[in-house]
Chains A and B, each alone.
Chain A
């Protein structure tokens, strides 16, 4: 099966695609006991020795966390991941829900929430030749009817928080760097791409981690919103009773949702339970012979507790659509947002979007942008997509040769719109230039808005959940990274 993970994840794996049963040798330190007590050997008769009946041993199951913690192969994890996060798994949950309702065991019923990414809905709209608004309405209808989803959210909303936090983080680090350059590291490398994070943790570990932004990706901010904020404020249930599905443009996001940092130990619940890629939704439509255009419309929801701010929020909702976008590219627009904000906050300079000039360097996926004020370059930002450009950036940083202050890093060439899980051309099974442009145009067909000055985001920052408090912000909107230990157990080294 060809891997739909990003090129970086593929390059990192050293194995052929082998099921976890055969190749996965989770390193176990074997204690060598003195020979006298080898195995259980029963002497039966003179002709030889016979093995004692084997004790019933439970089949060793490697959980995904074990898999990710071991720095061996990612491909064995692939099979595990795809089994655990698939439409089949989701339908199992739906089936179980039905059974529980029949048996009147309502407390066992899991509430299904779906979050969809803007890249996925653009890709689906292109595929089914619908305009973005219609496609989104149809998808909401689909999720609410077929997936029995109670709410459908758009991760563009949670991306607001990722962008705001990224802006804040840069300003803070930049100021610290100016006053004492040894206390913090520049450039800041964005963190929303799990393919990049995986590679950084496994290959460059403790060296590169201090450079990486601590802001959570939109998927995981939504995870926190759903499993923490909404559970406490609307659902009034524990997070393990929610099954959060997110629709993403790549498979790497499945890896991200399985990280330890995004797992609530106490409630034994993941912030995002199941990531489905765009193509998995497409093949579901094909398998079930679903015609998207004929599905009943429904609307997007807002992950916001309406009970407290009912009247004013209702007015706001009437004023604007929940379907909107952010400027700055199909991967979220981190570079542009941070640049514009920094220009204002650090240098009191009003930079408008059309003043941002990208200079292409060695290839289309490596660009730089400078902030020039009165002929002086104040900030140097860059965009680096794809493994080869990431390689060069990391090597530059290692050689102390990197003059940038902020770099938006994505594992996939051309960014998230070209993610490994996005729908491809039927004939060539690759994303042609035409198809990519089509998806891009659809992606930008909705108005770009900034809701941060809006009541929703402001309210959330002022709510108990965040309260503009350092600790809450760190817990809900930021994350940490860990170096993956290299294998030193000789028994499991691949040669």
Chain B
């Protein structure tokens, strides 16, 4: 079987984060912001192509929404093509990265951007189901693939 989307479009990366005054102030309580979360997930690898989710425009800075009062973090991603069969896996990788990186009091919601995938309703429901995600991550083989998407960022 052929890998879908053999020649995906590659996009430019966001520039480095500019430090602000408050970053130097030790007494200032740094709230988690969109840029911080984006930096956590932008370099996740696509399971099929040796490119990051940012480079494939699956994620960009507008994908992330943070509500610090409600401790809610929402990420919307755009699969490269509307029938992408890796969409569920990509969503799962993003979810895992957030679960591992954000403080436990944060609730995370990962979903496909409306109108960008044929099965978005079904996939969003699956990603929102905590029990399904927990069970999936106990599957050794699946976890291996997910970890690969997460670890490769260090090799870039």
Within the complex, what minimum Cβ distance (angstroms) separates B146 from chain A?
7
A38/B51 in contact, CB under 8 A: yes
The stretch from A27-35, A142-150, A188-196, A407-415 touching chain B is A27-35
Bitwise, A49-71 to B at CB < 8 A (1) or not (0) is 11110110100101000000000
Set B11, B48, B143: member contacting A48, Cβ < 8 A: B11
B9/A495 in contact, CB under 8 A: no
Within the complex, what minimum Cβ distance (angstroms) separates A145 from chain B?
43
Set B6, B9, B142: member contacting A49, Cβ < 8 A: B9
Main secondary structure of the interface of A (DSSP, over half): loop
Report the interface size for chain B: residues with CB under 8 A from the other chain: 34
Q: Please report the C-alpha to C-alpha distance between residue A26 and residue B132 in the assembled complex, in whole angstroms.
A: 23
The stretch from A130-138, A445-453, A484-492 touching chain B is A484-492
Q: Please report the C-alpha to C-alpha distance between residue A34 and residue B155 in the assembled complex, in whole angstroms.
A: 11
B141/A489 in contact, CB under 8 A: yes
Instruction: Assess whether A375 is interfacial by the CB under 8 Å rule.
Output: no
A39/B8 in contact, CB under 8 A: yes
B136 neighbours in A (Cβ, 8 Å)? 493, 495
Q: List the B residue with the shortest CB-CB distance to A49.
A: B10
Instruction: Assess whether A25 is interfacial by the CB under 8 Å rule.
Output: yes
A234 neighbours in B (Cβ, 8 Å)? none
Instruction: Assess whether A345 is interfacial by the CB under 8 Å rule.
Output: no
Instruction: Assess whether A14 is interfacial by the CB under 8 Å rule.
Output: no
The stretch from B35-43, B68-76, B81-89 touching chain A is B81-89
Q: Of residues 208 to 263 in A, which have CB atoms within 8 Å of B's CB atoms?
A: none
A40/B50 in contact, CB under 8 A: no
B92 neighbours in A (Cβ, 8 Å)? 495
Query: Which residues of chain B have a CB within 8 Å of any CB of chain A?
Result: 1-3, 6-12, 47-51, 83, 85-86, 89, 92, 118-119, 126, 132, 135-136, 139, 141-146, 156
| Other 11 A-B pairs with CB < 8 A, given A41-B7, A41-B10, A490-B139 | A51-B9, A55-B6, A62-B1, A490-B89, A491-B86, A491-B89, A493-B139, A493-B141, A493-B142, A495-B126, A495-B139
Query: Which residues of chain A have a CB within 8 Å of any CB of chain B?
Result: 22-23, 25-26, 28, 30, 32-35, 38-41, 48-52, 54-55, 57, 60, 62, 487-491, 493, 495
